[in-house]
Amino acid sequence: MAAQNKVAIVTGASAGIGKAAGVALVKAGWKVAFAARRADLLDKIAAECGAGKALAVATDVGKPESVKNLFAQTKAKFGRLDLLFNNAGMGAPAVPLDELPYEKWLEVVNANLNGMFLCTQEAFRLFKAQNPKGGRIINNGSISAHAPRPFSAPYTATKHAVTGLTKCIALDGRAHDICGCQIDIGNAATEMTERMNKGVPQPNGTTMVEPRMNVQHVADAIVHMASLPLDANVLFMTVMATKMPFVGRG
Ligand SMILES: NC(=O)c1ccc[n+]([C@@H]2O[C@H](COP(=O)([O-])OP(=O)(O)OC[C@H]3O[C@@H](n4cnc5c(N)ncnc54)[C@H](OP(=O)(O)O)[C@@H]3O)[C@@H](O)[C@H]2O)c1
């Protein structure tokens, strides 16, 4: 199917990676539903993309009814779904894990893991029912799906869990022409990584400024993963600032 007839949902699309990926997909010919909680930002982005190409749906991915509404509105406007970019996510303050309020743990688990599962469920339902059937789900993992930063228990735990979910999507989706895949990003320049310009805690107790990369590189990678036919899949892709501390134990 030509990109012109393809439809994507991008969560966490009001800022950062989600916004960049959604706009890049529109430029590549996709119709895109932009989802996040801040409706004013979504409306502005959708208007800039142009009528008929974009839909803004105020969504909290951690709330089942809100997620159902997102998928229903996308189906009503565009008729089908070909791609879900499960991107919405958040971190928690970097504090020793014994000092982390349980409410903050729950908030991160709800956004990063429960939200991803709820969107995946709705996408599976649409993918199975439509004709032609199938579609692709790209989960946003992280370098933190592989190695933790200091004081990052909720973020790291949920991102490791995302890897498990990605593998389950890839396996359970096979029978239905559903591709599951994951992008693991390191230090893209967004609001979330702004603090890296001032310095972030390192495992040896120091604080270090870390290099970041332009978020457009992530958006370009998403367009590539999304553009493959359903019988081909980039199962995992790591896109990172080349000189960030990760490879080589630091
Ligand atoms: N930047 C990086 O280097 C990096 C590295 C690894 C992984 N990631 C992952 O990439 C994703 C996006 O990060 P980013 O850097 O673009 O961060 P960001 O600029 O802070 O954007 C986060 C996005 O998620 C949305 N969001 C948060 N909670 C949500 C909820 N409950 N329901 C719906 N939307 C929600 C926010 O929108 P609203 O506030 O409007 O809801 C916003 O659009 C996250 O999953 C993050 O873990 C980023």
> What is the number of the ligand 1 atom nearest to the C-alpha of 19?
43
Q: How far is the CA of 114 from the centre of ligand 1 (A)?
A: 14
d(CA 83, CA 99): 39
Cα within 13 Å of Cα(86), Cβ side = 35
Q: Confirm or reject: Cβ of 61 under 6 Å from ligand 1.
A: yes
Which residue is it, tokens 């899949």?
233
Cα angle 158, 160, 164; round to 5: 105
| Number of CB atoms found within 10 A of residue 238's CB | 17
Beta strands 200-201 and 207-208, pairing class? antiparallel
Residue 51: predicted pLDDT: 82
Ligand 1 neighbourhood includes 11 CB (under 6 angstroms): yes
The pTM score is 0.98
Question: Using a 6 Å cutoff on CB, does residue 17 contact ligand 1?
Answer: yes
Q: How distant, in Å, are the alpha carbons of 30, 107, 149, 153 from that of 97? A: 42, 15, 12, 6
User: Measured from the CB, is residue 86 less than 6 Å from ligand 1?
Assistant: no
pLDDT, position 150: 97
* H helix or E strand, kind and range, residue 222: helix 216-227
The tens-digit pLDDT sequence of the chain (250 residues) is 566 689 999 999 999 999 999 999 999 999 999 999 999 999 999 999 998 999 999 999 999 999 999 999 999 999 999 999 999 999 999 999 999 999 999 999 999 999 999 999 999 999 999 999 999 999 999 999 999 999 999 999 999 999 999 999 999 999 999 999 999 999 999 999 999 999 999 999 999 999 999 999 999 999 999 999 999 999 999 999 999 999 988 8
Ligand 1 centroid to residue 41 C-alpha, Å: 14
Atom of ligand 1 nearest to the CA of 187: 3
pLDDT on residue 2: 61
Task: Give the active site residues.
Answer: 155
Instruction: Write the DSSP symbol of residue 136.
Output: E
